[in-house]
Amino acid sequence: MNFLNRLGLRRPGPPRRAAEGRFQIDGVTVINPTRDRRTDATIAVSDGAISGISDTRTEPPSEFAGCFALPGLVDMHVHLPPDNALKLTQAAALLYLLHGVTSVREAGDLDGTAVAAARRLSDEGVHPVPRVFSCGPFVGAGKATFKNTILLADASAAAADAAAARVKATGASFLKFYEGLTELMIRSLERSCEKHGLKMMGHVPAGITYEEARIAEVQHFFGVPEPGTLERDALVNRSCDWHAVDERRMDRIVETTLKYGIANTPTIVTNQRMLCYRDFEAARRHPDMLRVPPFYLDVIWHPDRASNRMARDYLERQVAPAVAKKQRLARKLFDAGAQLYLGTDVAQPFVIPGASLLEEMALFADAGINAEQVWKLATSDAGDRLGVRGLGRIETDAPADILLFRRDPTQAIGNLSSLEAVVAAGRLYRIADLDRALRSSQAWFNSPLIRPLARRGAEQALDRAFGRGQR
């Protein structure tokens, strides 16, 4: 059997569940960030929901007595892996849960298979997977970046209604505005989203400013650098070319945000992770990188691919300053009372499921936002946006998504590393068991049979996702 394992002929199984169905977590401090805190409490879980919270009367103390119980984290901007024979959904799910991420918003299914794969895994109930909220296909105009894109021919109500209906039919709750859209198309899509009951989020398209687009929830702070200030018209430049964004420009963004009630999901960690290209070989040896299937570093994120090539001069001149400026703008928006969400853009180079959300939280904290406020953004605020009653809270009848820490992570972001166990959809997993399952997954991806097959599959998947050869 060990020989078969080494060859990769035996696929990794799910992690062991420590509890499910009906169970109690005794002797914990329950924290709903910025709202309430209850010491020496017992949380009762039944059939995937929190059935009650009471004073602890159990003697002797249970396994998790003395822990701090907080709501599961929500990553509001990810791209799940495509569905194929490599069990990528399972591997990503382990990484999310290992870091306390129990819900994700899929911000554009690159090839149209990812959301269905995650939902199927959830329905089977054998392998844990975060709760998934979908934006469905991308909606744009002109030339599609990704194969799974709905293209508008014009700004008519009929075209917008047809696009919104197609997105709704996939089971999505959000419509994502993408590249190529004009201001008139955006306004038309807004009316169609209202008609079809879809929430709105997305890119400020190229050539349009933040103020002109007025998208209800802007991703990546796109549109903040004005089009004429970019070194070239490319996605990476629209993310990184912040040299002309000064205090006056930031104040204008804050003013527009408050006037139109715009929310922002900055995904600052995306830029922070780009800095790994300063020394790719050192970056690939980082412990977090060793937890992802090797084809990401061998193929998808490798600097030899055209889309990943970044000159060191550009990284120092544009990318590093952009991180600091985005932190500054996030703090300004927060202080002004504007809504922020935490997302990561998982699937971008070096942006690791789960670990990247913890880094985004640290970036917000480094910007001067109180740790407990950061927790609120990543839990109850996200849950309110996603529209599930009680999501992001520990209260009766809320979804049983609970994190158990040995040290209070609302007092210091660094205490996130003290995570002991995760309750996801009413099933309790010890971190040690999740880590053991992830190590089995890593060994499978590194086996002599799977590694070369996965590398070739990754190359083909990129071509399919983009609908053509590499950009």
- CA 211, CA 178: separation in Å to the nearest integer? 16
Asked if pLDDT for residue 401 goes beyond 80, the answer is: yes
Nearest Cα to 200, choosing from 178, 222, 223? 178
For the segment 180-203, the average pLDDT, to the nearest whole number, is 98
Residues 94-109 pLDDT 10s: 999 999 999 999 999 9
**Do residues 356 and 346 touch, judged by C-beta distance below 8 A?**
yes
**Do residues 381 and 75 touch, judged by C-beta distance below 8 A?**
no
Nearest Cα to 267, choosing from 138, 329, 360, 134? 360
Residues 224-257 pLDDT 10s: 999 999 999 899 999 999 999 999 999 999 999 9
Asked if pLDDT for residue 204 goes beyond 90, the answer is: yes
Write out the H or E segment, with its range, that includes residue 173: none
Contacts 24+ apart (CB under 8 A), 296-304: 296/458, 298/455, 298/458, 299/455, 299/458, 299/459, 299/462, 300/349, 300/458, 300/462, 301/349, 301/350, 303/277
How many other CB atoms sit within 10 Å of the CB of residue 411?
11
Q: Which of 169-183, 255-269, 319-333, 440-454 comes out lowest in average pLDDT?
A: 440-454
Helix (H, G, I), strand (E, B) or coil at 238: helix
Say what the pTM is: 0.95
For 241, 374, 461, the CA distances from 316, given in Å and listed in that order, are: 11, 28, 32
- CA 10, CA 331: separation in Å to the nearest integer? 49
The pLDDT of residue 145: 86
The pLDDT of residue 453: 87
Residues 298-311 pLDDT 10s: 999 999 887 788 89
Write out the H or E segment, with its range, that includes residue 54: strand 49-55
The pLDDT of residue 470: 33
Residues 125-139 pLDDT 10s: 999 999 999 999 999
For 191, 327, 336, the CA distances from 259, given in Å and listed in that order, are: 19, 21, 12
Looking only at the bridges linking them, the beta strands covering 49-55 and 36-46 are: antiparallel
Domains of the chain listed by start with CATH number: 6-136+203-466 (3.20.20)
